[in-house]
Chains A and B, each alone.
Chain A
Amino acid sequence: MKLVLLRIVLPVLLVLFAINFAECVFAQIMPHNIQPHPGVNPLARWAGMPGEPVVGYYQPVKITVPDGARIAFAVNNRFVEREESPYLVGLLLGANYRLRVTDIKFHPGKELFPSVTVLQRTYPPKNSELDYPIQIDLTHEDLELALSGRFVTRVIYLENPQTALPIRGGIGQQITTEAKPNEDPMLIAHNLGKPVAVIQLGGRVPTNRSFADAFFFHGSPPWMYLNKIKKEPQGSYLYQQHRSIR
């Protein structure tokens, strides 16, 4: 009996304890503890958390810039001008997109080159994907700060409805929380809801304007221009995407 207890029961209990403890510990891993791969935006490690679908979904994103400024996305390492703000585009999850902001009020001729990364997708009802895109609002203050040499990071999060603030939001009225210098904006966003996108502006400019800088454009990942589809609804845009693939 003692031998059985010593040689069988005890190891089994130890193994159970180890498995249970390991499961408990790894279940509490936060994405900010995961080391990113080299060459990947460190914030993109939040994309594709365990179980999240990543590949092939173009998340609708609406980007708003103030005062008649214009945004251009890159195609084949070159910026392509489109219509005015707001911009409704479909972006891949985890990909890093380079933008160009021009026609900034009070700063003629100045340019900014923000980077946008979509971390999580949303799950709107069918055929209403374009009605509820991820909303990214760039204020004039953000552009001013970036032009003055500051580095501005905006982490867009999906607000937890159980802890939502009773204040009104909307286009151009995005609820914004300021992070202190010693705080991680991603962690704050994670506490307030679910981080879905990151936009960073300021700092980097193209090294050589005469030819395409692939590193600067992050390889020009594909994106979809959805403003036109939004104006001419033909059912779900995903359905159109499916048709175009065929």
Chain B
Amino acid sequence: MGYKIGRVSCFVLFLAVFSMLLCGCLQQPYHSPVDPFALDPVLLHDNRSNYLPVQNIANNRPSNTAPIPQPNTVSNTQYQYQFTDNAVNLPPPMQAREIRQVTHVNDIAQNDYRYNNSFGNYSGSLSYNSSAYPNNLSSDSSMLLRSQAHQVPQVRQSQETIQASLQYPQDSVNSGIRIDPSLNELGARVVAEDINRLAEFRGGWRHSGSYGFLPQAEYLVDGGDGDGSSSNYKVLVKDDWSVMNLDVGDTVAHYDTVDGRTVVEGSNRVHIYAPRFGAVRKVEGVVKTDHSMSLGEMNQHLRTGTGKTSERTDQTAQEFVAGYTRGRDDLHGIRSRMVGAGVGSNEGLAGYNNFEGVVSYSDTLRLMKLGSAEIVHLAEGCQNARVWQGSEGVKIKASYKVPMSMSVGEGVGQLFKIDDSGIAGKSQLRLIKVASRGSASSGDVIEFTLRFDNLGTEPLGNITIMDNLTTRLEFIPDSAMSSVPSGFVLEPNGVSSFTLRFEIKDPLEAGKFGVVQFRCRVL
């Protein structure tokens, strides 16, 4: 008996575990349609005149690329980007840098983020500077990014949450501009329900049912290295410079380090609101059908008998009869010698003899006649009117204590200091992807800008930027440009779109950066 019970219980336990695993596989995985790290900036300084037309090259980067020179031996200052922060010329190891958030209190939609290079822990001191608008930032701002701050709801803020927000782990900071997704623009910790609202206001609307995020279909997502799911692997670069796992929509950069490694770095993801509607048509109709059926043979002999009805009404008697009938003869004619003699009364309708109460006033107004009885009521009304016009009436009390002017201070919200010391000897490339607009319709042209920064302390060589465009983005020919000398390859990606490849020719020294641009048309 015990053996049986144990066997049954083991079977049931196995069944339960198996069903849990099965159900977990059947249910749709949680996919955030909105990358909380995603930037959607649209504003860049228009320094396109400083860009260089890219040089079309036929094949991929050859394997015998030039060796990486030693630091400080190659200068690419000839192609320096104009609004670069290289004017700071931070020598390696880099000094502590700053991220400042400029918060307009009354207009969150106008929030601007000014980022400098950042790397490392989000740790350090926090100080408020509410005195003035940070004019000093406008000069050294390397990139002015306009985020979707207007879509972010305001949440609670407290000093404790701000302090807690600064303890942001380093391993999640893959890209320098990423910030803690649980922080809002004011630096406050966003509570759980507000995080859902955050996604909703940023376009992704989390479904409470089992369908996950439905509005993700409205956004055109481009950039990044995979979507994080198990079916989308990270991009790999082989020894022959061929690239694996570059999926549609991926944007990555791979580079070589001084110590001989090839590193792949993905960009941030760009979300563009570009819904496209299709239709499924079904036409139904009735087809005329002629179908004839005939009897083949009938062998059943049936005979109709005789039907006879013998019921007959004998007599109908009405017990109650009318006693008498009164009839009226209609007029056979009307003869009258009298015609209308006119209206002899100037008082209008007769019968309005009641001059009391409200009726009398209405008659007065209607008949334009003021009777003696109405004069009394009129006198009372006048008396009442005089009473109300007297001192017992309500007076208007005016107060002159109103502000003549009102000003709202707008200043620096917060100041973050990022400690990136102790990173000497590291190689790090940051790739930022921005789009010129956050929403687009079919036929609109979007300009994508890719900026790559060498955040490490060693030069990076053979930088190759690859962007596998989604199917709804059509590359506009001859629109690719670069701020540094680079080659350009356009390859079909197999889904009727293209893969763009920018091959930066010169090594990128520490603290330097470059920008490539191209335009696409939304299908």
- Residues of A at the B interface (CB closer than 8 Å) are 2, 5-6, 9-10, 13-14, 16-17, 20-21, 23-24, 27-28, 49-52, 120, 122-126, 128, 131-132, 134-137, 142, 145, 148-162, 164-170, 174-179, 181, 183, 185-186, 188-189, 192-194, 196
Cα A122 to Cα B220 with chains together (Å): 14
Cross-chain pairs A/B with CB under 8 angstroms, 10 sampled: A24-B23, A28-B210, A52-B207, A122-B215, A150-B283, A151-B283, A151-B285, A154-B279, A158-B277, A159-B276
Asked whether A161 lies within 8 Å of B278 as measured between CB atoms, the reply is no
Asked whether A194 lies within 8 Å of B214 as measured between CB atoms, the reply is yes
A14 to chain B, nearest CB (A): 7
User: Which of B2, B9, B208, B472 is the most central at the interface, judged by chain A CB atoms within 10 Å of its CB?
Assistant: B472
Closest chain A residue, CB of each to CB of B220: A161
Would you call B203 an interface residue if the criterion is a C-beta within 8 Å of the partner chain's C-beta atoms? Answer: yes
Q: Which residues of chain A are within 8 angstroms of B218 by Cβ–Cβ distance?
A: 122-124, 132, 158
Binary CB contact string for chain B from 468 to 506 against chain A (1 if under 8 A, 0 otherwise): 001110100000000000000000000111000000000
Known: A17-B15, A24-B23, A159-B276. A132 touches B439 (CB 8 A): yes
Closest 3 interchain pairs by CB?
Answer: A51-B208, A24-B23, A166-B496
Asked whether A155 lies within 8 Å of B279 as measured between CB atoms, the reply is yes
Number of A-B contacts (CB under 8 A): 206
Closest chain A residue, CB of each to CB of B216: A161
Asked whether B9 lies within 8 Å of A10 as measured between CB atoms, the reply is yes
Q: Which residues of chain B are within 8 angstroms of A21 by Cβ–Cβ distance?
A: 19, 23
Would you call B442 an interface residue if the criterion is a C-beta within 8 Å of the partner chain's C-beta atoms? Answer: yes
Cα A193 to Cα B217 with chains together (Å): 7
Asked whether A20 lies within 8 Å of B19 as measured between CB atoms, the reply is yes
Would you call B443 an interface residue if the criterion is a C-beta within 8 Å of the partner chain's C-beta atoms? Answer: yes
Asked whether A156 lies within 8 Å of B19 as measured between CB atoms, the reply is no
B83 to chain A, nearest CB (A): 27
Asked whether A134 lies within 8 Å of B281 as measured between CB atoms, the reply is no
Asked whether A157 lies within 8 Å of B9 as measured between CB atoms, the reply is no
Of B200, B211, B284, B472, which is within 8 A of A161 by CB? B472
Asked whether A125 lies within 8 Å of B23 as measured between CB atoms, the reply is no
Closest chain A residue, CB of each to CB of B274: A161
Q: Which residues of chain A are within 8 angstroms of B1 by Cβ–Cβ distance?
A: 2
Asked whether B281 lies within 8 Å of A177 as measured between CB atoms, the reply is yes
Would you call B413 an interface residue if the criterion is a C-beta within 8 Å of the partner chain's C-beta atoms? Answer: no
Cα A188 to Cα B282 with chains together (Å): 11
Q: Which residues of chain A are within 8 angstroms of B200 by Cβ–Cβ distance?
A: 123
Q: Which residues of chain A are within 8 angstroms of B285 by Cβ–Cβ distance?
A: 148-151
Would you call B275 an interface residue if the criterion is a C-beta within 8 Å of the partner chain's C-beta atoms? Answer: yes
A148 to chain B, nearest CB (A): 8
Cα A14 to Cα B8 with chains together (Å): 11
Would you call B334 an interface residue if the criterion is a C-beta within 8 Å of the partner chain's C-beta atoms? Answer: no
B7 to chain A, nearest CB (A): 11
Q: Which residues of chain B are within 8 angstroms of A128 by Cβ–Cβ distance?
A: 273, 439
Would you call B150 an interface residue if the criterion is a C-beta within 8 Å of the partner chain's C-beta atoms? Answer: yes
Closest chain B residue, CB of each to CB of A177: B280
Q: Which residues of chain B are within 8 angstroms of A6 by Cβ–Cβ distance?
A: 5, 9
Q: Which residues of chain A are within 8 angstroms of B283 by Cβ–Cβ distance?
A: 145, 150-153
Q: Which residues of chain A are within 8 angstroms of B275 by Cβ–Cβ distance?
A: 122, 124, 132, 158-159
Asked whether A160 lies within 8 Å of B23 as measured between CB atoms, the reply is no
Q: Which residues of chain B are within 8 angstroms of A166 by Cβ–Cβ distance?
A: 471-472, 474, 495-497, 523
Cα A50 to Cα B441 with chains together (Å): 29
Asked whether B439 lies within 8 Å of A124 as measured between CB atoms, the reply is yes
Of A9, A142, A154, A168, which is within 8 A of B9 by CB? A9
Closest chain A residue, CB of each to CB of B470: A161
Q: Which residues of chain B are within 8 angstroms of A183 by Cβ–Cβ distance?
A: 282
Asked whether B26 lies within 8 Å of A28 as measured between CB atoms, the reply is yes
Cα A134 to Cα B471 with chains together (Å): 21
Q: Which residues of chain A are within 8 angstroms of B442 by Cβ–Cβ distance?
A: 168-170
Asked whether A160 lies within 8 Å of B217 as measured between CB atoms, the reply is yes
Would you call B406 an interface residue if the criterion is a C-beta within 8 Å of the partner chain's C-beta atoms? Answer: no
Closest chain A residue, CB of each to CB of B13: A13
Cα A151 to Cα B286 with chains together (Å): 9
